[in-house]
Amino acid sequence: MTETASPAAAEIRAIFDRIAPVYDRLNDRLSFGQHRIWKLMAVKWIEAKLGDSALDICCGSGDLALLLAKKVGNMGKVTGLDFACEQLAIAKQRQMVKCPTVPIEWLEGDALNLPFTDNKFDCATMGYGLRNVTNIPLCLKELYRVLKPGAKAALLDFHRPSQGYMQTFQQWYLNNIVVPTAENMGMKEEYAYINPSVERFPPGKEQVKLATAEGFNQATHYPLMGGMMGILVLKK
């Protein structure tokens, strides 16, 4: 079953469509602006350069795709893919303001069945997407397939910290900061999904094993914020 055909995926897609109007403001508030630094780190690690063909999977409102556009320049191309059409609409609007001259293709598509030929992209990013797909190994397999040999990818996401005191802090943060902030913006139910999604998300070491099993030659997981965030960096 593909991502778009799954009932669970349909529910997640509906959530991201509903939160699209406030998604960027909430990310800024909930991370105190730190998410912008983490995204810059992800883009730096994949070593995108002028003229590259870059892919941003689960692109949302376009933050990472727009950062990639600045790296690949007018001679390169960026493809942003997401299954939430409302998020894509906002991404297109933001591009017209922030990066109108670089070719960016925005596609509604399935992270478990990428609509691209093999060995197409020089680099790729994924922000807060791997945790939400219904089949992580298949997602990694598809990512591997569409990357050129030697290409790098960086996957940024929330994680459950390994240390008990950080787990306690994260739970307090989710209960007392994330949900109330979302509730004030009319999105309490939509953001309540974060806690269970983090709970079932494989830890960094397990992600490395999954990526290696799908063929990646190099896989390194970098914990951030005491393990509450992390970036999985891969090389085909």
Residue 1 lies in a domain: no
Within its chain, how far is the Cα of 225 from the centroid? 17
Judged by average pLDDT, the poorest of 13-22, 75-84, 155-164 is 13-22
Residue 2 lies in a domain: no
Residue 160 lies in a domain: yes
157-202 confidence digits (pLDDT tens): 988 888 887 888 878 877 787 777 777 767 666 566 777 888 889 9
- 3-state secondary structure at position 170: helix
Q: In this predicted structure, what is the pLDDT of residue 104? A: 94
On the CB side of 52, CA atoms within 13 Å amount to 24
Q: Could you tell me the pLDDT band of residue 29, with boundaries at 50, 70 and 90?
A: low
Residue 23: which of 102, 100, 127 has the closest Cα?
A: 127
The domain in which residue 192 lies consists of 7-235
The whole model's pTM is what? 0.85
124-162 confidence digits (pLDDT tens): 999 999 998 999 999 999 999 999 999 999 999 988 888
CATH number of domain containing 52: 3.40.50.150
Residue 76 lies in a domain: yes
C-beta neighbour count of 162 within 10 angstroms: 13
Q: In this predicted structure, what is the pLDDT of residue 8? A: 66
Judge whether 67 and 88 are in contact, CB under 8 Å.
no
Q: Is the pLDDT of residue 2 over 50?
A: no
Residue 83 lies in a domain: yes
Residue 156 lies in a domain: yes
Instruction: Count up the domains in the chain and report the number.
Output: 1
- Look at the block and give the residue holding tokens 């099993």: 213
> CA-based angle 201:193:39, to the nearest 5?
65
Residue 198: which of 161, 226, 234 has the closest Cα?
A: 161
CA–CA distance, 232 with 157 (Å, rounded to integer): 8
